[in-house]
Structure 1
Amino acid sequence: MIYATRSVKGQAREDNRDCAGAVFDGVRGLFVIVDGTSKPGSGQLAQGFVQGLIDTYQLRVGQGVGDDTHDLAIQLIRSVLADMHAPLFAEWSGSTSYLVAVVVNGLLTIAYEGDCGCGVVNAEGRIDWITSPHCLANWKRDRSHRELVCDPARHRITRSYKAGRAPEPEIVVRSAVVGERFVFATDGFWGEMSEVRQAEALKSPEITITDLEDDVTWIDVRL
């Protein structure tokens, strides 16, 4: 498993409110991508979320908790999200979109709330998005990322990780076979970069990005 991450601050704010983390322990890949909202404290919350989730997940696995089936991985992700909730919001305010993905035993398990996404990358660098954003523009849950890009209501997030509401992630599961390539990304990546530019960024991760309003963050994973 080979992976690379990149996060670029957009022009809209002084701080980058995206955050991403990835680890591979020789058995499983754990990938976390978070997009803090405009609420105060969301950038710090995003950073705390990523580190807290990776640390807690790895601790549970080290204690013998299994995640080598979809059901076990879902159970573990949900328990980690729930157990992190009170400590995180005791320290930080704000809210975030998030996506957590586990690749283990030939399986991909995703839990997410908000508009961070997962896509399968083909040989030409085109992306088939397999998650559906939680936003006002997609309230019927029937619109593609390409359709959502031009709708201003896509910025109105309808589900997120926030105080006063227990985490309730949507779950997506599929196989993850040798040779496949996945991208996990914030909406700055899929919403502000053209499909051609997305492919260029995956081909050349150090591509110059200085002209976008939103923060742009992605994790590129090859199995």
Structure 2
Amino acid sequence: MTLHGEWTSKKGPSRAENRDAGGLLQNNQMTLAVVVDASERGPHGAMFGRLWIKNLFIRATDFVEPNATALVQAMEHAHAMLRSAYPSEVAAYSALLLRHDLGTGWALGCGDCRVGKADSADSIDWLTPVHTVANMTGAPFTAEHAGMPERHTLTRSLKAKRFVSPDVTVVDLSSNQQWVLSTDGYWIEHLMTGTPRDELSDDASCLYLTATADHSCADTDCDNWQLISN
């Protein structure tokens, strides 16, 4: 089954640049979708996120047996290629790897980007946990956590010092084939708190995967989308 991606991404008015990035890689074996949200801490966050996805996709095209273990290893390799050039950058990310031939897949998350299964635009079952100080005890992330200043501090992230493995959740492909990958600016500030998109302060990005569209498309204010299909 071929899934098409609809990428939407907008810089927050309080931000100097849009530091979100997204990508979709598809071949005969798999669908791999990735979203990255680089923090304001380092000077080159936008480039860091885009290059990490690029390096990850280069590695992923050589997968002999696409699975969560191979993907995490590829993530670590992509991280190693960038750590010396971008020592100050920090990012959150989420990824979705689907094996349509096996009827299974894996949702991966590190930080406050998320993967969800969508019944509609207003009904999303978020599959990956959130790693912030606000819910550091492991509790499910709620609207109460969204209002805490501590939710902006990540307890797990992609950074130069060392590679931290993401949480991995096995997903079932037997029913719904609509998926969402989102940065916190979109799923927290827009969807959870109800802030209109044109009033969001943070960068807000969302990658929607569906089998009903006839092609992939991007609506973004910068060059932060990568699409590889073969």
Shared fold per TM-score greater than 0.5 = yes
User: What is the DSSP-based 3-state SS (H/G/I as helix, E as strand, rest coil) of the residue aligned with 2:143?
Assistant: helix
When structure 1 is superposed on structure 2, of 113-122 and 140-149 the one drifting more is 140-149
Q: Aligned partners of 1:177 and 1:149: how far apart in 2?
A: 32
8 Å CA contact 1:18, 1:186 repeated in 2: yes
Q: Aligned partners of 2:78 and 2:193: how far apart in 1?
A: 38
User: Structure 1 residues 11, 124: closer, same or farther in 2, change over 3 A?
Assistant: closer
The reply to whether residue 89 of structure 1 matches residue 89 of structure 2 is no
The reply to whether residue 18 of structure 1 matches residue 17 of structure 2 is no
Q: Aligned partners of 2:140 and 2:40: how far apart in 1?
A: 24
Deviation at 1:121, TM superposition (A): 1.3
Q: What TM-score do the two structures reach when normalised by structure 2?
A: 0.82
Write out aligned runs for 1:131-142 (5 A): 131-142=128-139
Q: Aligned partners of 1:209 and 1:26: how far apart in 2?
A: 36
Q: Aligned partners of 2:69 and 2:126: how far apart in 1?
A: 24
The residue that corresponds to 2:208 in the other structure is 220
The residue that corresponds to 1:80 in the other structure is 74
Q: Which amino acid aligns with 1:210?
A: D
- Cα deviation code 1:91-140 (max 9, x no counterpart): 22311101121011321212221000011212463112111110001111
User: Structure 1 residues 6, 141: closer, same or farther in 2, change over 3 A?
Assistant: same
Structure 1, gaps ≥5 residues long? 68-72, 199-207
Q: Aligned partners of 1:179 and 1:129: how far apart in 2?
A: 14
The residue that corresponds to 1:47 in the other structure is 50
The residue that corresponds to 2:221 in the other structure is none
Write out aligned runs for 1:24-35 (5 A): 24-35=26-37
Q: Aligned partners of 2:175 and 2:98: how far apart in 1?
A: 11
For this pair of structures, how many residues does the alignment match? Answer: 205
User: Structure 1 residues 148, 4: closer, same or farther in 2, change over 3 A?
Assistant: same
8 Å CA contact 1:129, 1:145 repeated in 2: no
* RMSD of aligned alpha carbons: 2.0
Structure 2, gaps ≥5 residues long? 212-230
User: Structure 1 residues 196, 152: closer, same or farther in 2, change over 3 A?
Assistant: closer
2:112 aligns with one of 115, 132, 142: 115
Q: Aligned partners of 1:124 and 1:166: how far apart in 2?
A: 33
Greater relative contact order (Cα < 8 A, sep 6+):
2
The residue that corresponds to 2:217 in the other structure is none
The residue that corresponds to 2:11 in the other structure is 9
Q: What TM-score do the two structures reach when normalised by structure 1?
A: 0.84
Q: Aligned partners of 2:58 and 2:124: how far apart in 1?
A: 30
The residue that corresponds to 2:183 in the other structure is 186
The residue that corresponds to 1:203 in the other structure is none
Divergent runs of 4+, >6 A: none
Relative to total residues, which structure has the larger helix share, 1 or 2?
Answer: 1
1:126 aligns with one of 123, 128, 135: 123
Q: Identity of paired residues, percent?
A: 25
Q: Which amino acid aligns with 2:178?
A: R
Q: Aligned partners of 2:173 and 2:29: how far apart in 1?
A: 13
Deviation at 1:38, TM superposition (A): 1.6
8 Å CA contact 1:97, 1:116 repeated in 2: yes
Q: Aligned partners of 1:196 and 1:4: how far apart in 2?
A: 23
8 Å CA contact 2:25, 2:32 repeated in 1: yes
User: Structure 1 residues 145, 118: closer, same or farther in 2, change over 3 A?
Assistant: farther
8 Å CA contact 1:7, 1:218 repeated in 2: yes
